[in-house]
Structure 1
Amino acid sequence: MNEFLQAREEEMLGLLEQLVNIDSGSRNKQGIDQIGEILKEEYIALGFDVQTIEEEIQGNHLVIRHPDAKEPEILIVAHMDTVFRDGTAAVRPFSIVDGVAHGPGVVDMKASLVSLLFAVKALSDSGRPGIENIEILLTSDEEIGSITARPLIEAHTEGKKAALIMEPARKDGSLVSGRKGGGDYAIRVHGVAAHSGIEPEKGRSAVEELAHKIIKLHALTDPEEGITVNVGIIEGGDATNVVTPEAVAWVDIRTTKLSQADLLDRKIREICAVPDVEGTTITVEGSIDRPPMERTEGTARLVELIKGIGKDIGIDVTDTKTGGGGDASYTSAAGVPTIDGLGPVGGNAHRDDEYMEVATFVPRCRLLAETIAKLSE
């Protein structure tokens, strides 16, 4: 497989350039579907069946499996959307400078889409087991929380013994064996307006009430337990001489264990149930709806297997945990041993200087192909 892939590096880079130069932000259905059609044709040419899951607003999803696949045991998930605005590809198209590829979504995760395709091609060419043991989901809205993809992913976890998630490897090349879960809340405070100079006693400050709540919410952060509570945005008030009648805070919650969610949600609601400023009222919207990817025994065994494969082919494989969420959380929460970060090495995702290390493109593709083959023996 190594010779097969080495001989196709330029072809891989050519397809990567084509994909990067298509705007495919999460709200750009046309761009995402264009990406999907390119990949669909590639898999059909390999003899795979491709089912298009039509979405009215978001991009379509693709479900890909070999016609001879009976009960595939490996689920592979990759997303086709990026975070970038329309027009970014024209302003900052694909380029390679000193062995580093640049462009919107180059590593998160268009390089992974190419790597996955060519891993399947390598397996097909080699005759080794694997292509009849995989089910591939190419999704369209991971960057906005997998709004439509999550039910699809969860439905396809049934009967799977391993899930391989194609986010990029970390900057140091590490795979991802754990991710935080979490959710978002909006804390809305309703007070009473009044002139702050003439009759302030008639007012009830929503800003003051919100300040009390922010301090209490931040106090829920517990670094030892891996819990973070962050009020990231606050809004309220129109003029300095008015006691503010309305204020809102948007809160980001992160957890490391599924068991933490209910208790943390209850504490948030208890804090907001009783006002500190008399005469104000509070409403709470939101929930902790993203499960964490926990490092289970099954995941640990999967990590060790991939480390062994890496050693055999000359790649030093390490693993790490990350605070960011992702689709790996849904497969992990369903009880499927999951490993993430199986794409090429790169960094600065979601930024103008996002990059992918070209030298890792073929080796990481081979690592993926060898992992599929090993899991299918």
Structure 2
Amino acid sequence: MTSNATEASILAWLSEQRQPMLDALEAMVNTDGGSYDKAGVDAVGAQVARFCAAHDIPVETVPGARFGDCLRATVASEEGMSGNQQRNIVLMGHRDTVFPKGEPTRRPFRIEDGRAYGPGVCDMKGGLVMNMFVLAAFRKFGGAPGPLVGLFTGDEEIGSPEGRPVIEAEARRARAVFNSEPGRPGGNVVTGRKGGVFSVLDIEGRAAHSGGNFEAGISAIGELAQKITAIHALTDLSRGITLNVGLVSGGQSVNTVAPSAQAQIDMRYVDPADREEILGKLHAIAATAFVPGTRSVLTIRGEFLPLTQDPAAARLFEGYRAAAAETGLSVAGEFAGGCADSGFTAAVGAPTLCSVGPVGGKAHSPEEYLEVDSFVPRAQALARAILRLEATGL
């Protein structure tokens, strides 16, 4: 079979997969999969594994101790590959969502006015399903210009504490990485993202009766209030730096000087060099006692690296854009303030393109949606981009 015939077969088969894609998506969305629900995330992984087995795609499991396992599905390349052609082409996605247990029961998958709804429908179970079917198409018809790897991780929404080393190891041997986060609402892909650091600030004061022994107390909440003001003052929108104290807690009772308090901090930045500067300032704020006698500890709980576009990634984007145009899609690159695993792959030098998944929006909310009509064309665009990879010089 000629390469043109192989491509035609892949595209024609994908064009017939709309309903099977939607069926797979419905089953996946209706399965619990919050980041801290390992059993649920692994149940979604079992759906991926069953699909791959049905299409004769080998799957390796990298167990997670606390969070969802990582699955690594592989499709061999054509024979006779050499040099860079032997490096893996990675299709990446995460199975976990941000929603609490029971959310699929409360609002199960549905389609209304051309949009699919449900927890995680676009972020990013739609992208997972798309990757599964693209892998199956190449397994069925051949034509892969290098080994294909489908990497299905389980803890992205909490910073990939266990998935990150697996992702980075895969990226170091990758020729290119396509991360199937949802396409932007206008249909664009993402060529740059902010980095993010998620930290917890714990403050210790001293309890005392707020009426009978007020002067003996040291208020951790009073300290927290002043620290929040200092933390928010680090925001510099002109540089793309934002600090947000999104969660606070503390105190013992209304009539007790607060012996403890806690703040959870979201820090975002664009330039990798800004990370150390802002973290240094955060640590300095933590070390400063605005209320004498308080003590504070700042702990980093998770982080994402920024997605930056080097010349190789720019060529990957141009190749994808041309492939999308052949599919009838007009696609541009966008910068996004949100973080993703694509930052890890870019940071170790793998040419990376993000948000090549089906188009959707309003992620992390009850209104999250996926444009049903984007499913097949985005799968075809990805398949074409893979088939055209050699033309990018990668």
1:330 counterpart (344, 358, 363)? 344
Task: Note if contact 1:109-1:168 (Cα within 8 Å) is conserved in structure 2.
Answer: yes
Residue 30 of structure 1: aligned partner: 39
1:94 pairs with 2:109: yes
Task: Note if contact 1:47-1:66 (Cα within 8 Å) is conserved in structure 2.
Answer: no
Q: State the one-letter code of the partner of 1:232.
A: G
Aligned residues: 376
TM-score, structure 1 as length reference: 0.91
1:17 pairs with 2:26: yes
2:202 counterpart (178, 188, 213)? 188
Question: Quick one: distance in 2 between partners of 1:55 and 1:190?
Answer: 34
Question: Quick one: distance in 1 between partners of 2:288 and 2:148?
Answer: 52
Alignment of 1:119-134 (within 5 A): 119-130=134-145, 132-134=146-148
Shift of 1:183: 1.4
Residue 81 of structure 1: aligned partner: 96
Residue 52 of structure 1: aligned partner: 61
Residue 7 of structure 2: aligned partner: none
SS of the aligned residue for 2:267 comes to strand
SS of the aligned residue for 1:157 comes to helix
Q: Evaluate the alpha carbon distance shift between residue 16 and residue 209 of structure 1 in structure 2; reply closer, same or farther with a 3 A threshold.
A: closer
Residue 253 of structure 1: aligned partner: 267
Shift of 1:208: 2.3
Question: Quick one: distance in 1 between partners of 2:317 and 2:33?
Answer: 32
Question: Quick one: distance in 1 between partners of 2:36 and 2:295?
Answer: 35
Question: Quick one: distance in 2 between partners of 1:65 and 1:125?
Answer: 13
Shift of 1:375: 1.2
Q: For structure 1, which segment, 321-330 or 234-243, has the greater mean C-alpha deviation from structure 2 after superposition?
A: 234-243
Q: Evaluate the alpha carbon distance shift between residue 210 and residue 269 of structure 1 in structure 2; reply closer, same or farther with a 3 A threshold.
A: same
Alignment of 1:1-377 (within 5 A): 1-67=10-76, 71-130=86-145, 132-286=146-300, 289-376=303-390
Question: Quick one: distance in 1 between partners of 2:301 and 2:17?
Answer: 46
Q: State the one-letter code of the partner of 1:222.
A: D
Q: Evaluate the alpha carbon distance shift between residue 20 and residue 234 of structure 1 in structure 2; reply closer, same or farther with a 3 A threshold.
A: closer
SS of the aligned residue for 1:161 comes to strand
Task: Note if contact 1:196-1:243 (Cα within 8 Å) is conserved in structure 2.
Answer: yes
Question: Quick one: distance in 1 between partners of 2:186 and 2:322?
Answer: 18
Shift of 1:238: 3.2
Task: Note if contact 1:49-1:67 (Cα within 8 Å) is conserved in structure 2.
Answer: no
Unmatched 5+ stretches in structure 1 = none
Percent identity between matched residues is: 38
Question: Quick one: distance in 1 between partners of 2:69 and 2:203?
Answer: 39
Q: Evaluate the alpha carbon distance shift between residue 66 and residue 310 of structure 1 in structure 2; reply closer, same or farther with a 3 A threshold.
A: closer
Q: State the one-letter code of the partner of 1:305.
A: G
Question: Quick one: distance in 1 between partners of 2:250 and 2:337?
Answer: 29
Unmatched 5+ stretches in structure 2 = 1-9
Deviations 1:250-281 (A, max 9, x none): 21111112211112111111222232222322
